[in-house]
Amino acid sequence: MEPEKSNSEKRKSTSFDLSKSSVSISKKIDFQKQASVVSDIRKIKRNLSKEEINDLKKEIDIDEHKISLESLCARYDTDAETGLSESKALELLQKNGPNALTPPKEASEIIKFLKQMTSGFALLLWAGSIFSFIAFVIQWSQDKDTPYDSIWLGVALAVVVILTGCFQYYQESKSGKIMDSFKKMIPQSALVKRDGQEKTISAEELVVGDCVYVKIGDRLPADIRIVKSESFKVDNSSLTGEAEPQVRSPEFSHENPLETKNLAFFGTFAVEGSCQGIVIRTGDNTAMGRIATLASGLDQNETHLAGEINHFVHIVTVVAIGFGVTFLIIMLALGYPIINAIVFLIGVVVSNVPEGLIACVTISLALTAKRMAKKNCLVKHLEAVESLGSVGIICSDKTGTLTMNRMTVAHMWLGNKIVEVHPDDVQNSHVLFNKAYLEDFDTPYIRRFSVQPFDFVDSKDWRKLVRCAILCNKAAFKEDAENMAKDVWKRECNGDASETALLQYTEAVHGNVFNYRNENKKIVEIPFNSTNKFQLSIHETSDKKNLLLVMKGAPEKILEKCDKILVDGETLEMNDHWKKEFNSAYEYLGGLGERVLGFCDLRLDENFTSDFEFDTENFNFPTTGLRFLGFYSLIDPPKPSVPEAISRCRSAGIQVFMVTGDHPITAKAIAQSVGIITYETKEDIAKRLKIPIERVNKKDVKACVVHGSQLTDMTSDDLDKLIREHKEIVFARTSPQQKLIIVEACQRTKMLVGVTGDGVNDSPAMKKADIGISMGITGSDVSKQVADMILLDDNFASIVTGIEEGRLIFDNISKIVSYTFAKNMSQLTPFIVYVLCDVPLALGTISILCVDLGTDIIPSLSLAYEKPEKGIMTRKPRDPKKDKMTNARMVSFCYGQIGLCEASAGFFGFFVCLAECGFWPSRAIGVRSYWDSKDIPDFRDSYGQEWTHEQRKRLERSAQTCFFVGIVVSQIANVLISKTKRESIFKHGIRNMYMNFAILATIGIACFLAYVPKLNQALGFYPIYFLWWLPGIPFAIFLFFHVEIKKIVCKILPGSWYDHELNW
């Protein structure tokens, strides 16, 4: 018979013996055979219905954490000691499928490519291309000598669509798949017990009811109910947003499954201890699986810019068809043949298609994205650049986004005084001292900085407290040379977040923590656990005195252990007065959202030596009657740049809401420190006025903190009302599903919504938002895949840069659109005059292409480099429904004012050329049929000179070149006035060197097209005299000053009818 085992041996022999497990892991496993079983039942996820999406938005509703262990085992037909049988596990695997996240149904790459080729604007260009081919066929059927202008126009339009479509497809293909990131969260293997035997299997083979073992460093392979644990902690930050590791034990502690201690979830990390659990959910049914399914199943909203482009397409289509049909009716009324009328209709429609616009917009977005990348904003989807500039609400996660995602010492309480500790920068710390003359903490420090009225020079209180913080701490720096060379606050550590914060603090204020620990050797240690709620260690000390017991833990627990307190170097009795002071300080620091840890010590008597057998199970040494030393309070501090960024968002008219999974008190404290909450909440008002909360006037409440449990009870209308009535909101203790519901409610306010985050729990909300923004350093792979933009430096302030760039690109794209749109009238009028006045055609089809794809491209792109106008970050966000990029006012201004001015410049040059060659305007009108006829070799001009058909066509090409030059000159004025919408160019300046180059390049291209032999003939141009460049200049000057005067009048009369009608 085996001898009876001691308590510690019994504990080690429980079924999660890690030493035995390591042997099991080393065994060879035929994973190929296992994988074949799993692959046979793998499935592809179908598209989710609306009802299924709504179901996934609901909170997790399970009871496995509430029922007894016996009931749980009975439900899943398992045993906590022996686990499932192999036959039962295989049966469940065949029934429920593998423990894996099912990928959604993906569109083929060819479908994605075709979508880029058939977007709203692309369809307009395709229509123009097809109409051009149709027009050529009609003309060719009547005249075999018809020029190929329409063919070249159709080809050019098709090439533009294909090139821009390929570019956009390339940009989209760089965005990864969401599910691929979730798959990285699945561990390769899991340690289970089946048929009473431990074995390592592929994690995909786990089934509900499996008895699984997890140790420090493991990723949870499924959702499990904790059966046994040893100091087990998990990092839930990616799932719930909690910055601190969470204790997990068999204890049922909360109704909410995400908050109870006896559940641990798939994809989270074990950061301390070990546990045994029973699998209750696998694959898509896990909490993480539901988030993955929800994130991948949500439809991506159409970007704001895509909607604007589609709106523009509708306007262009209506205008083009309107003009075309109008003049089709006129031509038929004038007696033109139906075939000629249809050809003319097609010409009018095609002349209104801005061929180069889609390329200009795409390239402008790419240039802006490149510029933003230099400012640490990586744009994944080009159109998202503009969306960020239009957001009216930003829903920001707290942990890792607004805060550093790093616990830091913020305050300490000792000697009945609260002392602030600067959370980040040691050089500005309120408690920074030179290193000690001796390594012993009993030697006084020389004070370096202290803004508190508290003298540390002779403070034994502080030295004892720091000593306890160093010794009662398991955290240690990773001892590689590269890590140790870093600044203290940036070194990587082994240990949980709280102990790491204390280690960094003590290293900063003292130094050589490692050496000090070696000089004060640890004899025994009791790690923190959820039952004791304290950590204890006993040390030899360098002063050769009796052993020193140090303890830290929950303040209320530490207080129970103490009957003395250290104040101003004296050890006093812990009476009611000191307990009251203790509670007052504890409540104050807790109210700041900080985690408070109490510290105490005790010198053991001579009976306890280094050779003493300390029993850590049944304490055979004092654990009461200790001396209380003080508190350290810790917090995940805000990033230094966040408050200013929040302030700039406010000045830009943008509301910033905090949406976090953390506790309400912590969330509110951080929100107040960064400026998200500046008004009093209902509770604050009630406390200040000393009245019940119910009596607070709702109209006085502009800020609120909403708990996730309150959200659960709210209807959609209640949530909409809450958002409408409060300017400042913090949503705390929210689940991933609730974050999504909040975003949808914000979108119902008709504002564009941006969501920032770094965890898996943020991914559904980021996917649903108009623009999702992820952190580049601390962000999870999942959040980066879902996001439209990634902040490479994790700096929330970079969002403000992005907003400014977004507003700027919207302004600049609208300038490009109006600049491009304005010349449509000058390209349309030659066809109109050609029909109505029966004059030679003033501008050919190829000439239109030369303007759209030649002389206008570079000036259009130069507008993308234009600097912002004054006040861009103080104006309110645009209303996406009302403040359109293109509207009736823009069309009337571009066509009725700028367009007619440019057309006048072109026609003036056209008729000057004809007149100087002998054809006065009176002679040029009504002669088109004679002019084009090859059968008339002796057509007479105004002076009676005879012109052959070839001579007339040469003169026509010269006149068309003059019309072309007139458009080029007036478009130079147009691009200059397009630099600003409201600000005078004389105030804004002409510092855009790209535009200055573009103007010179435009003139150079025009000369190249007009004067290069053979090329000009192919394009329908002819070399002209220098003087024929001049007729367009007066019109350009008039256009420039006309618009400048308009800007001045609008500035003098803001909000007037004139201002309203001439600005868009």
Which of the residues are catalytic?
397
Question: What's the gap between Cα 360 and its chain centre?
Answer: 25
Outline where DSSP puts E strands in 687-812. Answer: 703-707, 728-732, 752-757, 771-775, 789-791
Name every residue whose Cβ is closer than 8 Å to that of residue 359 and which is 6 or more positions away in sequence: 160, 163, 164, 857
How far, in Å, CA of 493 to CA of 486, rounded? 12
Minimal CA–CA distance to 346: which of 132, 129, 142, 148? 132
Name every residue whose Cβ is closer than 8 Å to that of residue 444 and which is 6 or more positions away in sequence: 457, 458, 463
Minimal CA–CA distance to 800: which of 880, 746, 751, 872? 872
The SS3 call for residue 404 is coil
Residues forming a β-bridge with 626 = 562
How far, in Å, CA of 486 to CA of 593, rounded? 29
Computed on alpha carbons and rounded to an integer, the radius of gyration of the chain in Å comes to 38
Q: Please report where in the chains the tokens 């007729």 appear, as a residue.
A: 1031
How far, in Å, CA of 174 to CA of 23, rounded? 43
The SS3 call for residue 408 is strand
Side chain identity at 193, as an amino acid letter? K
How far, in Å, CA of 380 to CA of 771, rounded? 11
Side chain identity at 756, as an amino acid letter? T
Question: 488: which DSSP letter?
Answer: G
Angle of helix 949-977 relative to helix 797-836, nearest 10 degrees? 150
CA distances 860 to 128, 1008, 1033, Å, are 21, 19, 20
Name every residue whose Cβ is closer than 8 Å to that of residue 539 and which is 6 or more positions away in sequence: 471, 520, 521, 522, 523, 547, 548, 550
How far, in Å, CA of 240 to CA of 222, rounded? 16
Quote the tokens at residue 844: 């050919």
Element (H, E) at 888: helix 888-893
Q: Are 991 and 1055 in contact (CB under 8 A)?
A: no
- Name the pairing type of β-strands 946-947 and 939-940: antiparallel
How far, in Å, CA of 324 to CA of 856, rounded? 24
How far, in Å, CA of 213 to CA of 210, rounded? 10
Minimal CA–CA distance to 842: which of 982, 751, 965? 965
How far, in Å, CA of 63 to CA of 252, rounded? 11
How far, in Å, CA of 521 to CA of 402, rounded? 40
Q: Are 253 and 261 in contact (CB under 8 A)?
A: yes
Side chain identity at 707, as an amino acid letter? H
Helix, strand, coil percentages, rounded to 5, for the chain: 50, 15, 35
Side chain identity at 162, as an amino acid letter? I
How far, in Å, CA of 24 to CA of 200, rounded? 7
Side chain identity at 213, as an amino acid letter? Y
Element (H, E) at 910: helix 900-916
The SS3 call for residue 379 is strand
